[in-house]
Structure 1
């Protein structure tokens, strides 16, 4: 039971000073008592589920009914916040609530998913369903409790400061009005045990002053006074009306059609709000409002279709006639090119992929443990799991620091965006604690001495990690829906590039290289190019691009003036990277031994690694042709190359018997046209060409 100090009159303190009167704050009903009831119910549901999974209970239908009750109460709570409480708070303190509305959608989806999964498990209690229920339960508990804690840390103090007690009572009353009249009593009975008797009396007093309808006020006060048994409700709760989610549109001032569409969007938004309000109140006008909404949506669709058809008839032919193809490509690129700070969103895509793959790795470990004969058989797969988890934690920590120290301060620096990022900073703090819990659990898994104990500990880790994944996915989705549009609206491209420069400028070389390689794994080629363009633009005044040399700068073809390739050779003689041996020889006073090369640097992701035909980090193919003897890379699509084992060089051509042959007497590769037609001379090519002075034996061109 939670106790909040109830109202008390003014009086004298022992030292003779006036004791100020305290006024009970009714908003505690929602942000203290209701929150406590939700947390308590989640804990009870988790305990009940453990009993079911252990086979000591058969109450699957009852568990599902309780989840239905929690789902519906949470929807009432979310609807009241999204449509009543958050708008009231935004009038006083801007930008603090949008992320919470996004989280409501994800949390309601998780609860809906659990209800469906419990029904499937009740009908078919397979091992897969039981495991899915357990993990989803942890995900719901982690995600919802994190959301409630954030509201209490950020929103509750603001509500207490900016919303007067009488207005708070009105907000509580509107929340209760969101609940169908037939179920209010059950919800209040469920919440009441978490409030002290004195606080219940204060709530009744606050509602009495805030509810104008005498009948409704009498009912609410009666339910609050009734001494009903505590506990969850049944599955008879009616579904609340869905909160409205009005769309928005831009206003093209140059076109009457676009202005008309903007007005139609405004009308659609108004009707959406009216339908949602009628649904909550079960108003008799619901049918008329719904019909008006459908008619408005149809009219908007027809107007937009007509607008686009008019553009296709008038604007498109003019563009085709007046704009050459290069200008058309430039226009298209200007329309679709990514903002520099979308680099963070690409990180999100890679993070989603990594989260899913780590969960799959945990499942693989569980399967290996089921079939292992002894603990040593699981060592390798467990080490891979530990390494993957530490990698995920490290990159997420780097991402969070970049946001907390660079991105969020930039947002808060815009006057109109004050307070917009605080909820995400709280997310980072709680997510770090969740990662720490997982890390400690993983340590226990690795320290176990028997197969049975390792199986048990790994099952615990799977549940903890499921909660982490759900929490992170909700967080990054909220950032994409709320924050990225703000960058497009309030930050010019140059300012975004400056922020990207700050982010990569404070990132270590090894970390940056690993991040770029990792993010590429979740991208298309076009997205990779856009990302590297953003980074190069942000670092245009630095030497960052030195690692990306070009064979053809205008076309973005990597390499040097000698070769097209995506690899640099690390010269063992001076431990520096050069695109090719000729570049090395031109820049130094010694010659590179091509056969001694054992390392290369990928020009796409800058990863230094053993020399090979493709990058071990980002997977980029270094060139069309690669010789592992000479360490020659050449990506020229019009050039044929082969390695001659007798010259021990790579030669230009299609190879012996096709367009060349190796004369053993001359010890040289020659054009096939000279076969049986040339005069053999011992080591005839061990001399310089009289025309160009190149040593004939090492010439890159075939001997004619």
Structure 2
């Protein structure tokens, strides 16, 4: 596909990576990042001084920190703006699914800066102990921000920078740098570049200037950027002082450009008068120039009212339209940016000037303080509105039931923001603007308006100017533009022409059609947008649809403020091509409208209906609900670390050691839980996402998060180890403070990580995975989780759930493990998870249903499907049941199947069917006897259930056998039996006789013993009969190295590893699930991890030769190439006379050599005996 260049623009092929100059993108991802890190280091040193400084010095340091963190926040805003608006959309066009997590991190980092600003202001107002406590909180918040920013920068350099270098030519990178400059407020561009120039080599600056200027097609914009990048641009700062929204004190001493200190700042009125003296004489006019502030206020009010109307339409329609929701997200981001920079200009220009003119008016001073507080409230309202929009978007994508409630909260939040901002603007128009209009002349007002415009970035002004001007009459627009021309200095002539050109776009016929919509996003960045859209350089074909995915297999888009760049990408329509185009969708596809949102290759699926219709819970939801408990415990850990530090600060004696042990225990438990969760994501969840063609690269950023977070846990572990080993109280205090800061940083890092997963990854499962696929995924995850881990994790997770969430999670686990014995294990070990009897309440019906299901499950064990391969060859078993009962009763000595009643009652449905067929084919049985046995066989489940309801029989039980010593190895004096080494015997619950193990019982009796029903044992050392336990209650001796309290299995054999599988509900050989073994939910069998990915799931549960039930067999068996299973000893005998599977008649091995020998014999007819030489087949 040929590349398309705009007229007047150079061909990007002329500036490829073949040149020897450094990549232009290094200006952003190397020099800019290093500057931020250097500033963070400098701030860390200042904060360290603050914590130990006396109160008089602390106040000065707080003022310094307030200014410098304001500077850092502004720098961070420029960094995130260019990435969200330019870099990420461009990169998504070439490499899909790599940037969504970073956008969420940007929002979280902005919230952290907001919290830090509030803490700094609070600390300045307080004194004494209150200030000291706030400084401790401030210290933790600083650690949160620094850790989060460093983590974010490292991730970008590890993932995004290599992709930009690989997929973007030098010309394309230069375009991105030019867009970066357009994302900085006009008043701060020169100061920002002066801050960076000392770090960038002179030669690289010159090469960058040449490359950037070569890719800008617009002459006015080119002239402006040339001025910015010229080496003498810094002199402007020295001549006129630091401009609006940028102060020299904001820059750290380490990075401040080497220039003379700026002169003492004059008052604002003096500065305005000085600048107005350079303006030409103005003609009389009817409206004061500050009327332009009212124009902007009216546009913001109108857009917010339209936003509320659109938000209410989401709720009124009864379903969430993804296109409408995406449009709201885009509109909120633009309005938030406009309000942010407008508030900054008011704080730096309007309010200080009004306060200066009303110095003696107490009412006016109080009004201005009230306006300042309202600014903080408006910022918080807009941030909360953005978070709610993202939550609604994520919930609607995954069809969550919370979507309806969140939409209601969204409407309330939008209404509150509209009301608060409208009232605030009305107060300013009544109490602030009249004061300024009274004391400032027309020229001074024009200067103030001009400086207010320069407080916005160029890219934002390209959309704001036509939006505001389009609402004005021709006379009002002309007057506004004339005021700009008069106020701007001669060096800003190109900028004035750009602004006037953009303002005139608001009166074009296309813009007139948008006037009634009050939507500023309709206007795009045609001048400040990229001249060469990335999609034209690297076209991508739309992925083919997958039949295995659900109807929701769509990917909602990561939203970027300048998503018009993505409109040129190929999209796969979500509707029938024959249908008439949706006007909203048409606007999304038109790059000239500015309405396009950053879409992924698949269009968003229709959102859920939430009026009168229940929303189904997806199985994967409960894996992500782990995050709820993780957040809770992270905050508890941080709180306990803070309490421990506060205790040490106020104490002169050594604290109780139990406090540190408790803190360390909570940390290690949390670390283990987090590690299990992250390993499950890395090994199972992320590969499943990457297996979908449309989701390639979606999980790489989260894998990097896991690596960085694991390092955070290790660092905390080291600090705890030092606290445990130190003998100095002063050192312990220092370590406690360090621990509190690190716990806060770890909590912040994990919170942004899980929020990104919930917003971006969680919805993908509802869109790209069927319910069955999700259940399979959940089965694989918990199939690698051991019984001990589940036993500790499930109560921990469900402890933060409501009753409905808890029941939904248990139901989901039951569904994912329906072929296993997991429910019986759950009933045995996790009683608190099941709803307990409560007084009558609305949820009582659900509890009764739950209890009924539990009782039925206890009476009738769930069906078990085929056992999976526990060994891959006949050499040696990798896995066999260490406590599994042998089904030897299925085969008598003469080979005829004659089952006893105990066997019949213990069979599951599949075994019953197999037994019935064999019994029907047994010609040795009399017809009457056969009919009687078949009738009893089919009614066995009912008979067993009735026996359990009626309770134990009153028939006198036989007396127990006398206790005697038995040996596993008599020569070595090891107690036990031929099956197990142990120092205890079991009391059979069925006949009350004493045997060393259940196998000994089954061999001696005419019935079988249920291992799970065993309750009592007899110690072979002292002969005491007691409840089953690991140790003897009388002689206190350890009875075995391994003891399972569920199977009541004792095993004292040295070197043998045994674990209890909660899904088999049996003890098996191996180190444990997730270590070397895993459980397949389809096969209902444990297998080695190396075999899991290669095995074939089968539903057969019996050996096809001896028909023994393989699931609980203690004999080794192997998998055939066709996927069926057979006992190893059966295979050895069967392969002597047959080479095909008795079930599917496929070869049981590699028959190549065997067939070759036959072919060689057949090809030599002369060597055959005479009677066979002429025979054919």
Category of TM-score, reference length = shorter chain: 0.5 to 0.7
8 Å contact kept, 1:264–1:296? no
8 Å contact kept, 1:139–1:466? yes
Match of 1:188?
193
Q: Could you tell me how far 1:189 is from its partner in structure 2? A: 1.8
Which of 447, 457, 463 aligns to 2:725? It is: 447
Match of 1:633?
none
Q: Could you tell me how far 1:515 is from its partner in structure 2? A: 1.1
1:28 aligns with 2:306: no
Distance (Å, rounded) in 2 between the aligned partners of 1:136 and 1:266: 32
Which of 191, 214, 229 aligns to 1:221? It is: 229
8 Å contact kept, 1:434–1:468? yes
Distance (Å, rounded) in 2 between the aligned partners of 1:273 and 1:531: 36
Distance (Å, rounded) in 2 between the aligned partners of 1:333 and 1:500: 29
Match of 2:1159?
none
CA gap 1:141/1:538 in 2 versus in 1, 3 angstroms:
same
Match of 1:465?
743
8 Å contact kept, 2:684–2:781? yes
Larger CA deviation: 270-279 vs 71-80: 270-279
Distance (Å, rounded) in 2 between the aligned partners of 1:215 and 1:261: 44
Which of 691, 698, 703 aligns to 1:425? It is: 703
1:493 aligns with 2:771: yes
The 5 A counterparts of 1:4-23 are 21-23=19-21
Distance (Å, rounded) in 1 between the aligned partners of 2:707 and 2:132: 35
Q: SS of the counterpart of 1:25?
A: coil
8 Å contact kept, 2:989–2:1015? no
CA gap 1:459/1:260 in 2 versus in 1, 3 angstroms:
closer
Q: Could you tell me how far 1:451 is from its partner in structure 2? A: 2.1
8 Å contact kept, 1:369–1:378? no
Largest Rg, 1 or 2 = 2
Match of 1:116?
118
Distance (Å, rounded) in 2 between the aligned partners of 1:412 and 1:33: 33
Q: SS of the counterpart of 2:198?
A: helix
Q: Cα deviation per residue 1:203-244 (whole Å; 9 max; x = unaligned)? A: 2222221334243123222257748999x9898249xxx9x9
Larger CA deviation: 481-490 vs 541-550: 541-550
1:236 aligns with 2:229: no
Q: Could you tell me how far 1:296 is from its partner in structure 2? A: 5.6
Which of 682, 689, 701 aligns to 1:404? It is: 682
Which of 431, 456, 468 aligns to 1:287? It is: 468
CA gap 1:134/1:553 in 2 versus in 1, 3 angstroms:
closer
Q: Could you tell me how far 1:414 is from its partner in structure 2? A: 0.4
Larger CA deviation: 32-41 vs 204-213: 204-213
Distance (Å, rounded) in 2 between the aligned partners of 1:591 and 1:421: 48
Match of 1:63?
65
Q: SS of the counterpart of 1:194?
A: coil
Match of 1:92?
94
CA gap 1:293/1:502 in 2 versus in 1, 3 angstroms:
farther
Larger CA deviation: 202-211 vs 32-41: 202-211
1:54 aligns with 2:351: no
8 Å contact kept, 1:121–1:130? yes
CA gap 1:593/1:350 in 2 versus in 1, 3 angstroms:
same
8 Å contact kept, 1:66–1:234? no
Q: SS of the counterpart of 1:284?
A: helix
Q: Could you tell me how far 1:270 is from its partner in structure 2? A: 7.2
Q: SS of the counterpart of 2:186?
A: coil
TM-score, scaled relative to structure 1: 0.67
Which of 624, 637, 657 aligns to 1:379? It is: 657
Match of 2:433?
none
**In angstroms, what is the RMSD of aligned CA positions?**
4.2
Distance (Å, rounded) in 2 between the aligned partners of 1:258 and 1:334: 10
Match of 2:169?
164
8 Å contact kept, 2:989–2:1009? no
TM-score, scaled relative to structure 2: 0.41
Match of 2:155?
150
Distance (Å, rounded) in 2 between the aligned partners of 1:447 and 1:577: 52
1:357 aligns with 2:647: no
8 Å contact kept, 1:268–1:296? no
Q: Could you tell me how far 1:385 is from its partner in structure 2? A: 0.5
8 Å contact kept, 1:268–1:293? no
Q: SS of the counterpart of 2:625?
A: helix
CA gap 1:576/1:119 in 2 versus in 1, 3 angstroms:
farther
8 Å contact kept, 1:372–1:378? no
Distance (Å, rounded) in 2 between the aligned partners of 1:574 and 1:294: 84
8 Å contact kept, 2:671–2:713? yes
Q: Cα deviation per residue 1:638-661 (whole Å; 9 max; x = unaligned)? A: xxxxxxxxxxxxxxxxxxxxxxxx
Q: Could you tell me how far 1:370 is from its partner in structure 2? A: 3.7
Q: Could you tell me how far 1:552 is from its partner in structure 2? A: 7.7
Q: Could you tell me how far 1:295 is from its partner in structure 2? A: 4.6
Which of 97, 107, 110 aligns to 1:105? It is: 107
1:179 aligns with 2:457: no
CA gap 1:608/1:142 in 2 versus in 1, 3 angstroms:
farther
Q: Could you tell me how far 1:509 is from its partner in structure 2? A: 1.6
Q: Could you tell me how far 1:109 is from its partner in structure 2? A: 0.9
CA gap 1:200/1:140 in 2 versus in 1, 3 angstroms:
same
Q: Could you tell me how far 1:201 is from its partner in structure 2? A: 1.9
Match of 1:342?
621
CA gap 1:293/1:458 in 2 versus in 1, 3 angstroms:
farther
Q: SS of the counterpart of 1:336?
A: coil
Q: Could you tell me how far 1:273 is from its partner in structure 2? A: 7.8
Match of 1:625?
none
Q: Cα deviation per residue 1:227-272 (whole Å; 9 max; x = unaligned)? A: 8999x9898249xxx9x9x99x99xxxxx97899677667657766
Match of 1:311?
none
CA gap 1:574/1:185 in 2 versus in 1, 3 angstroms:
farther
8 Å contact kept, 1:279–1:286? no
Q: Cα deviation per residue 1:41-94 (whole Å; 9 max; x = unaligned)? A: 111111111112221742211211111111111111111111111000000000
Distance (Å, rounded) in 2 between the aligned partners of 1:218 and 1:29: 16
Distance (Å, rounded) in 2 between the aligned partners of 1:423 and 1:281: 33
Distance (Å, rounded) in 1 between the aligned partners of 2:19 and 2:737: 53
Q: Could you tell me how far 1:192 is from its partner in structure 2? A: 2.2
Larger CA deviation: 152-161 vs 503-512: 503-512
Distance (Å, rounded) in 1 between the aligned partners of 2:106 and 2:328: 23
Q: SS of the counterpart of 1:182?
A: helix
Distance (Å, rounded) in 2 between the aligned partners of 1:45 and 1:294: 49
CA gap 1:296/1:486 in 2 versus in 1, 3 angstroms:
farther
8 Å contact kept, 1:66–1:233? no
Which of 69, 75, 78 aligns to 1:76? It is: 78
1:201 aligns with 2:206: yes
Distance (Å, rounded) in 2 between the aligned partners of 1:525 and 1:88: 46
1:513 aligns with 2:791: yes
The 5 A counterparts of 1:660-671 are none
Q: Cα deviation per residue 1:417-466 (whole Å; 9 max; x = unaligned)? A: 00000000000011111111111111111111122221111101111121
- List alignment gaps of at least 5 residues for structure 1: 1-18, 251-255, 298-330, 564-571, 579-583, 601-606, 610-704
Aligned residues: 528
Distance (Å, rounded) in 1 between the aligned partners of 2:734 and 2:988: 50
Larger CA deviation: 130-139 vs 198-207: 198-207
Distance (Å, rounded) in 2 between the aligned partners of 1:210 and 1:225: 21
8 Å contact kept, 1:188–1:223? no
Q: Cα deviation per residue 1:521-549 (whole Å; 9 max; x = unaligned)? A: 11111111111122221111122122245
8 Å contact kept, 2:620–2:774? yes
Q: Could you tell me how far 1:363 is from its partner in structure 2? A: 1.8
Q: Could you tell me how far 1:111 is from its partner in structure 2? A: 1.1
